[in-house]
Structure 1
Amino acid sequence: MKLVKSLLLGSAAGLTVMAGAQAADLPVRKAAPVEYVRICSAYGAGFFFIPGTDTCLRVSGRARFEATYSQGYSRGAGNGDLMGYRGLGRLNLDARTQTAYGTLRAFVRFELASRTGAYLKSGTQERIANAYSATGIDTFGRAQQYVNVDKAFIQFAGLTAGRAASFYDFYAHDFEIIGTSLGSDVSSTNLLAYTATFGNGFSATLSVEDPIFRKNPLFGTATAGNTASQFQVFTANANLTPVVALNAAGVPVGEAFYNVDQRSRMPDFVGVIRYDAAWGSAQISAAVHELTVGNASSLLTFGGAPLLAGSAVAPRIQNEYGWAVQGGLKVNLPFIAAGDALYLQGSYGEGAQIYTGYSQYIGTYTQSASNTQGGNFATFFTDAAVNPLTGRMELSTSFTVVGSLLHYWTPEWRSAIIGSYGEMSFGKTSRALLGGLNFNGLGNPVNSPGANVFSAALRDTSQIVAGASLIWSPVKDLDIGVEGLYQRTDLKSGRVVDNNKTSLAAVGVNAAGQAISSAATGSVVLPTTNFTDTFQVRMRVQRDF
């Protein structure tokens, strides 16, 4: 037995020596070195080097839940929703590389959201192609998916090119849960800009920006409607306005109908002068915005029959240029509490309503809208109306002012108070002729009495939007907050039938100038008003990373 064990052990030892000798003869391949991710400290926290490059990258994002209660007055025609919800996801990619000319930066932000119910389902976002709506029986107009390349720009040696926030904007609702105070806030537009820095905090920017994101419809007597899926669609001759056509002797003989949907010919030009310091910042902005339409689409007699070729002259509507100016001031208030700050901003424009942000609360990229479901009248936001006698555009004027104060009660608790006011006005001819323009058989413009006096015609309005919030941040980058808002729109002259007190429509006026409606028992005096108001309460849970 001992002999057998000795033979086996000896054989195993011999095989081991032989295997080791053969292994020593084989070529040895070294393992590739592991390249670990390295921290990049040149641009702040969160950046790391992309392996194999000298580019630093930061990945960040946001998850948010929102709910809102919004007052409404009507349950008809798809109305009646008081609650709304939204879930939002955001992903940011920030890549930076140091070059001989300074930092080369590329920034991309994607936003995805699911919106439902009153207010959070946004018609503004559908009209600008950022969202699409559900088409089901119960989901129609109540559910919406939001998909947006919110940012995608390159910065290099003072140049900014791509999709970014408009350089015209300043406050841009920084202290609000959902930006609804009056004021410009175009966070996504296409632009090419150059910023020059002069030292001591001074800089100047010239920006060439995409005009589509600043176009609000011109006033027309017929407007583009919604399809069954509630998309704002272009239909040929859908937004028409009449202009009086003359014969060779200069006598009115008919109407020329113009399609006043706007073309894109010239970009918007934005200029900015800015100052930044430890105490805060200040900015002055100016913008020029072209208004342009097409030629006449049809010529009709006042009776409706087509005019013969050459029997009338239809003046061409000349292009006009709207403009806007804005001044903003931000003051840091650390002597009250760390993080406290105050914004003050004012903007004025002609033919450039989106630059003043008068439609921010009610809705943009539409000719008119009501401030709530079943509101007493529609507020008009058109940049211009065509004078039907001269064929010239009459630009609307608008202005807004806003103030917002942020205060930290403790490092974990903060509040914001906002207040804003604005007015929008139209030319006298626009209001007088286009609000209820008809032509009699002799070609004389006449205003129909009665209903037009108390209808939601093209009218001057003013708005107030005010609110306050309370936000708790129990840990870093987590916000749990609630916000309340009040909004009121006033007619600057005249009155309308109060829809909240009657369902009847005005058909005339009595000797006392009161609105009346015919009924089985005769004429009924209708209640009227000159304002409509609403309120909202919303809450938010948000995590940034």
Structure 2
Amino acid sequence: MKLLKSSLLGSAAALAAVTGTQAADLPVKKAAPIEYVRVCSTYGAGFFYIPGTDTCLRLSGRARFEYGYQAPLARSQGNGDYSGYRGLARINLDARTQTAYGTLRAFVRLEAASRTGFPTMHSGTQNRIANAFPALGVDGFGRVQQYFNTDKAFVQFAGFTAGRASSFFDFYAHDFEIQAGTLGSDVASTNLAAYTATLGNGFSATVSMEDPSFRRTPVYSPANVAAAAAVLGNSSLQTFAVTQSPAPVFLGFNAAGLPVGLGFEDTIQRNRMPDFVGVLRYDQPWGSAQISGAVHEINVGTINSAAAQIIGTNPGTLGRTSSEYGWAVQGGLKINLPFIAPGDTLYLQGAYGEGAGMYTGVSAWAGSYIQSATSLQGAPFQQFFSDAVLNPLNNRLELTQTFSVVASFLHYWNPTLRSALFGSYGEVAFAPGARAAQASYNGLAIAGLTNIGAFNSSYYNLNQILRDTYAFNVGGSLIWSPVKDLDIGVEGVYQNYGVQSGRVIDANRSPGITSQALLNAAAANGTLRTVTNADVFQVRARVQRDF
């Protein structure tokens, strides 16, 4: 038994020795190296190297809740919301690589939001530029809106910037505001290609080619296209009305100087020439200064004389309406005031333009990308913002003048508590004679045309169409940041807008007056009411976390 046990143990030992020797001769497969995420300190906090590359990436974002309160003036026709809500999500990706030509950067920002309530919360402006889509339910229509925007997507390299970015024209751009209520240019998302040259001693210069789509206010059109198509029963006009925005122009005049033919001009602007922006900027420890200039083309389509030849005989068609070039200039100053408190800053800005209302920002509070708007539910009248008016007598585009001035001051009471005070003023003035020219076809009884009234009639003098207007607003906020990157704040904004001269029909107290006959009847029975201005106040609370 002992002999058998010894034999078995010896055999096992020998086998183990042979097996070990053979295993040592076989190749060993090594484990793949682990790619650890490394901190990239070249570009500041939060960057890390993308594994396997020399590109540094920073991932950041924002979550925001807002509640707003604004009392309406009426509850009819979709009005009557007192409250508004908004929840917003933002994701940022910032990728940078060092090259022989400097830093190569790509930046992407995506935003999504849910908005409800009164107009400045659900924002018709966002619908008009396809950043949002509205609810269609009976209780949600015009009150509930889902929002998505590629807010930023640009590449920067060797002084060049190309992609979707903030307009280089802008300076202050509502930096200290929650509601963005002041009148000033603030186009945070546009498509552009730009080059910035560093000139030394704090000076830089930028030339930018920018998408005109995000700087357009419509050429004024008096036509109710649906009504015109239905009443006239003209298939050519019906197609024209659905796909284009018609404005009437006279095709010619007889020996007595009377119009003998009428056609419709297509006033929808096409993307023809880009906007060109030039900027000179100066940066120093005390602050910054900037001068901006922009050129903006305004164009229309062609005359559709077959659509409606309502009166007389047609002596022939006019040539294509010549394009006009709007322009704007802006000056801004930013002053750091650390001697008051660390972080204190004052902005001063002014802008003037002709045919370039989006560059002066006069429609920033009321609503952009529309010819008439108001931020006040049940407003007694609307402001008109058209960059140009087509003169029906000479088929020429006549430019609208606008200007705005803004001041904004940020003060830190302590490192966790800050407040801002801001105010602005702006005016809109249409070309001399623009209203009178629109009155020239008033007596033609063309279905679907907005009735501006016979020149110098009482209705002409009292209606809101193409009236020169002003607006000013003031506001203030208080924001508490108990911990880093968390803001809890409240802001109130008051705005007053009105006509620069005369009075207008109060659409609330004298609704439905759209002609001289209706005005006469209202005056006769004592129900005619007029106003010179309107005002609105909104308070908004915000909770926001950046990461």
- TM-score of the superposition, structure 2-length normalised? 0.90
Query: What corresponds to 2:272 in structure 1?
Result: 265
Is contact 1:214–1:354 with CA below 8 Å preserved after alignment? yes
Moved more, 272-281 or 256-265: 256-265
In structure 2, do the counterparts of structure 1 residues 158 and 301 end up closer, same or farther at CA, with 3 Å as the change threshold? closer
Q: Percent identity?
A: 59
Note the C-alpha offset of 1:499: 3.8
SS in 1 for 2:121: coil
Match of 2:249 among 219, 231, 243: 243
Moved more, 22-31 or 60-69: 22-31
Compared with structure 1, are the counterparts of its residues 410 and 239 closer, same or farther at alpha carbon in structure 2 (3 Å cutoff)? same
Unaligned runs of 5+ in 2: 228-238, 446-452
Matched residue, 2:359: 355
3-state SS in 2 of match to 1:181: coil
SS in 1 for 2:177: coil
- What SS does the corresponding residue of 2:23 show, helix, strand or coil? helix
Q: Distance in 2 between matches of 1:428 and 1:122?
A: 32
- The match for 2:488 is 480
Instruction: Say yes or no: does 1:465 pair with 2:467.
Output: no
Give secondary structure in 2 for the equivalent of 1:431. Answer: helix
Instruction: Answer yes or no: is the 8 Å Cα contact 2:191–2:211 preserved in 1.
Output: yes
Structure 1, residues 181-231: CA drift from partner, whole Å, max 9, x if none? 1000011111111111111100000101111111110011125789xxxxx
SS in structure 2 at match of 1:45: coil
Cα RMSD over matched residues? 2.7
What does residue 186 of structure 2 align with? 185
What letter is aligned with 1:366? I
Structure 1 residue 433, shift from structure 2 partner? 3.0
Is the contact made by 1:516 and 1:524 (CA closer than 8 Å) also made in structure 2?
no
Matched, 1:527 2:529: yes
Pair 506,394 (structure 1): closer, same or farther in 2 beyond 3 Å? closer
Shift of 1:237: 6.1
Aligned to 1:230: none
Q: SS at 2:145's partner residue?
A: strand
Number of aligned residues: 527
- 1:37-436 correspondence runs (5 A): 37-118=37-118, 119-222=120-223, 236=242, 238-247=244-253, 252-298=259-305, 304=310, 307-308=313-314, 311-434=315-438
What is the deviation of 1:509?
Answer: 9.2
CA contact (8 A) 2:297 2:325 kept: yes
2:502 matched residue in structure 1: 494
Contact persistence 2:469–2:499 (CA under 8 A):
yes
Q: Which moved more, 1:329-338 or 1:26-35?
A: 26-35
1:517 CA displacement:
3.5
1:505 paired residue among 499, 505, 513: 513
Residue deviations 1:48-80, cap 9 Å, x none? 111111111111111111111122112122211
Aligned amino acid, residue 534 of structure 1 = V
CA contact (8 A) 1:301 1:307 kept: no
TM-score (norm 1): 0.90
Q: Structure 1 496/367 Cα, relative in aligned 2: closer, same or farther at 3 Å?
A: same
| Distance of 1:244 and 1:433 partners within structure 2 | 11
Amino acid at match of 1:83: S
Q: For the Cα contact (< 8 Å) 2:240–2:246, is it kept in 1?
A: no
User: Deviation string for 1:6-48 (max 9, x for gaps)?
Assistant: 8997787666556544432332111122221111111111111
Q: How far does residue 472 in structure 1 lie from its aligned partner after superposition?
A: 0.5
TM-superposition CA deviations, 1:236-289 (whole Å, max 9, x none)? 465222222215756521222211111111110100000000000000000000
Are the counterparts in 1 of residues 390 and 397 from structure 2 also a CA contact under 8 Å? yes
In the alignment, the residues of structure 2 paired with residue 530 and residue 62 of structure 1 have an alpha-carbon distance, to the nearest angstrom, of 42
| CA 1:525–1:103: 2 relative to 1, 3 Å | same
* Residue identity opposite 1:84 in structure 2: G
Instruction: Evaluate the alpha carbon distance shift between residue 524 and residue 63 of structure 1 in structure 2; reply closer, same or farther with a 3 A threshold.
Output: same
CA shift in 2, pair 1:466/1:44, >3 Å: same
In the TM superposition, residue 518 of structure 1 has moved relative to its aligned partner by 4.2
1:544 Cα deviation after fit: 0.6
| Partner Cα distance (2:169, 2:319) in 1 | 35
User: SS where residue 414 of structure 1 aligns?
Assistant: strand
Q: What is the CA distance between 1:451 and its match in structure 2?
A: 3.5
Against the structure 1 CA distance between its residues 42 and 531, is the aligned structure 2 distance closer, same or farther, given a 3 Å change threshold? same
Look up the equivalent residue of 2:529 and give its one-letter code.
Answer: P
1:274 touches 1:281 (CA, 8 Å); kept in 2? yes
Structure whose residues are more often helix by fraction: 2
- 1:526 shift after superposition: 2.0
Q: Is the 8 A contact 2:454 2:460 kept in 1?
A: no
